[in-house]
Amino acid sequence: MVRTDIESVWILALASKCRAFTEENTAWSLLIIAAAWLVMTLIYWAHPGGPAWGKYRLKRFLIASKPIPGPRGLPLIGSMELMASSLAHHRIAAAAETCGAKRLMAFSLGNTRAIVTCNPDVAREILNSSVFADRPVKESAYSLMFNRAIGFAPYGIYWRTLRRIAANHLFHPKQIKSAEVQRQAIASQMVDIFGVYRQNFRVRDVLKRGSLNNMMCSIFGRKYRLDSTGCNINEVEELKALVDEGYDLLGKLNWSDHLQWLADFDPQKIRFRCSRLVPKVNRFVTRIIAEHRADTSEKTRDFVDVLLSLQGADNLSDSDMIAVLWEMIFRGTDTVAVLIEWILARLVLHPDIQSRVHDELDKVVGRSRAVEESDIPEMVYLPAVIKEVLRLHPPGPLLSWARLAINDTDIDGHHVPAGTTAMVNMWAITRDPDVWADPLEFMPERFVNKEGDVEFSVLGSDLKLAPFGSGRRTCPGKNLALTTVSFWVASLLHEFDWLPSDSNSVDLSEVLRLSCEMANPLSVTVRPRRGLDLSNCGKSSAWGTRFLHSPANTSPCIGPRKLL
């Protein structure tokens, strides 16, 4: 230390003697440094794909090898505007078209190198490659502890253990089947609520609440009624607020993730909001875990019980358990509700298709009873409708969360370095006329098999339509999601004719948050098909109005549903 100080003094003394540090020299030096920096910034930026790609390739002298085509964007920040949009999937598709890079496009998000494909063959190469088994972790995901949950956990033993536990318990076909009773109860409550309200109402809040209650029951063993009656009302409201806030934070493009020099300033207040949310989530989930530990009675096992019973290497710390449980609530809630809203919107918009679903329900179920889950495998047209909606309105148009290259690799003949973020634009693939005939037409028939045809699977084997992703990190909740969506849609369709509301026609505009939702929530009128007796519910109850237009906070009168 002393030596360094003495050396510095000598250098300064010499420099002053040499007159190297005159004001003029310093100004020139700064100017030269600034000019050099500007030139380098422009050189990096001039590279196809923008500054992050230019920096990587020029520093490694990869000038001769074929670059991946892509937009340059702006110096320093690259193409942040592509992802900052609420229609990122549209913008990326348009940019790929413009650059002639539908197979593979490179772009820069600040310092982050990204690639995206709008082609099913290249999508398969990316998603099924072991190199892309990791995920880029956003600051918000770290702050919300999601790096310890399945979706953001780094590829490795911990992630594999979590997937195995979830597959053996939460997503096991037996477990999915055993939750049928709860799905039935929620479907019945939804029918009651829609039957009360009947005219010109929004479906979204009820669907989201139903979906949340369903996950709360499977994960935490908590049974809430959709009308929020009883002492749980505060807990439901608290939970909903926590989920909404987390959803908003994870769905935002955080500029600090890609421009590290911004991180200290937290310009979008994302770190600040995460730091306020985490203790609330911890308190909420810790309370439920403690109640499970204290409860020694015989009851149906939920996912908390499963995690608490794990022994040896599988045993999770409390904080890891909180992350895993919280993620499941999170992932399982909105995706399902968003998809059902799109399905209902399409059926309102296409009454001819709706009446074909009704005909099928009448044939398979008959009007004398409600739908049961065992009816669904007998149906052909309803699954085709659901697939067609997944094609035109995939809830994760960019497959929700991107993948990260663990090692250097080659994709579609191009060198892709480790640390590159990879995305699949499933929305663009499913609307590509080279992949689907009449891609913009809503035609469920395309999924109705003719004699001898193999049924089209949306579970990830065919990348022409893989709304749940594919490969190692494919969605583990896909069977649970499809079971829930099919049953609830069948129940809602069996009970009602779905018509547009008087004031709002169906608007198919989209907004991409964490999932891709209808920008203008669906508003409908329903007409009972099976003669529901809802007389004891009071059609104009104040509750009905409040629940369907704002968060529920009063106790409604929901009577038992009777068949006339």
Of positions 48, 49, 78, 332, contacts ligand HEM by CB under 6 A? 332
Site membership for ligand HEM, residue 469 (CB under 6 A): yes
Instruction: Report the SS3 class of residue 185.
Output: helix
CA distance 280 to 242: 8
Residue whose C-alpha is closest to residue 241's, from 184, 284, 275? 284
Question: Residue 50 or residue 467: which is nearer to ligand HEM going by CB?
Answer: 467
Which is nearer to ligand HEM, 94 or 167 (by Cβ)? Answer: 167
Residue of the chain from 101, 336, 385, 518 that contacts ligand HEM (CB under 6 A) = 336
Interaction residues for ligand HEM, span 163-182 (CB under 6 A)? 163
Q: How far apart are the C-alpha atoms of 465 and 436, rounded to whole Å?
A: 10
- DSSP string of 542-564, one letter each residue: HHHHHHHHS---S----PPPEE-
Which parts of 353-372 interact with ligand HEM (CB under 6 A)?
Answer: none
For residue 474, state whether it binds ligand HEM (rule: CB under 6 A): yes
- Judged by CB under 6 A, the residue of 465, 473, 494, 498 near ligand HEM is 473
Contact set for ligand HEM, span 486-545 (CB under 6 A) = none
Q: Which of 480, 514, 548, 558 binds ligand HEM (CB under 6 A)?
A: 480
Segment holding 516, helix H or strand E? strand 516-518
The answer to whether residue 254 forms part of the interface with ligand HEM (CB under 6 A) is no
- Quote the tokens at residue 118: 């709008």
Of 89-97, 259-267, 328-336, 516-524, the segment contacting ligand HEM by CB under 6 A is 328-336
Check the annotation: does 475 bind a ligand.
yes
The H or E element spanning position 533 is strand 532-533
* CB 491 to ligand HEM: min, Å: 17
Give the nearer residue to ligand HEM in terms of CB position, either 109 or 328: 328
Closest residue (Cβ) to ligand HEM?
469
221 near ligand HEM, rule: CB under 6 A: no
Angstrom distance (rounded) from CA 310 to CA 299: 18
Closest CA to 391 of 445, 430, 438, 349: 430
3-class state of residue 471 by DSSP? coil
Q: Can residue 395 be called a binding residue for ligand HEM (CB under 6 A)?
A: yes
Could you tell me which stretch among 40-48, 182-190, 301-309, 464-472 binds ligand HEM (CB under 6 A)?
464-472
Helices 318-349 & 478-495 angle (0-180, nearest 10): 40
Find the helix packing angle between 542-549 and 204-220, rounded to 10°. Answer: 80
Q: Give whichever of 522 and 534 is closer to ligand HEM, judged by the CB atom.
A: 522
Least Å from the CB of residue 131 to ligand HEM = 14
Number of residues that bind ligand HEM (CB under 6 A): 28
List C-alpha distances in Å: 207 to 30, 212, 250, 338. Answer: 61, 8, 21, 8
Tokens of 386: 């659901």
Contact 92, 79 (CB under 8 A): no
Residue closer to ligand HEM, measured from CB, 52 or 480: 480
34 SS3 class: helix
In whole angstroms, how close is the CB of 132 to ligand HEM at the nearest point?
Answer: 9
In this structure, what DSSP letter does residue 266 have?
Answer: -
Residues lying near ligand HEM in the complex (CB under 6 A): 127, 150-151, 163, 327-328, 331-332, 335-336, 339, 395-396, 399-401, 467-471, 473-477, 480-481
Annotated binding site for heme: 475
